[in-house]
Amino acid sequence: MMSSSLSEVFATNVRTRLAAIQMSKRQLASKTNVSRNTINSACTGQAKMIKFETISQIAQALRCSPQQLFDEDHNWALYKWANDYRKEDEHD
């Protein structure tokens, strides 16, 4: 049973993925050609009617599936690939 709204779950998962791959909201907007206002609304849980195409673009840029962004119980730490996209200077 979901205790959070889909907007809140989506926002939490987008913020978590952004942090995991060390990408800023500005970079996400640039990669997806989605407005920064839409990205900011998505990250705060205020976006209520995002088009599926936009969700798909965000998921692709975050290297995950759209379904994962709506999974309340998703544990991003289980995905080793989340760390594969961190900045190269960590490997020195």
The residue ranges of every structural domain in the chain are 6-83
Cα gap 35→26, rounded to integer Å: 9
User: How many whole angstroms from its chain centre is CA 76?
Assistant: 11
Q: Residue 78's pLDDT is what?
A: 55
Q: Residue 87's pLDDT is what?
A: 46
Cα gap 27→19, rounded to integer Å: 12
Listed residue (63, 55, 54) closest to 9, CA to CA: 55
- Give pLDDT tens digits for 41-80: 999 999 878 899 999 999 999 999 999 999 887 666 555 5
- Give pLDDT tens digits for 16-44: 999 989 999 999 999 999 999 999 999 99
Specify the CATH number of the domain 6-83. Answer: 1.10.260.40
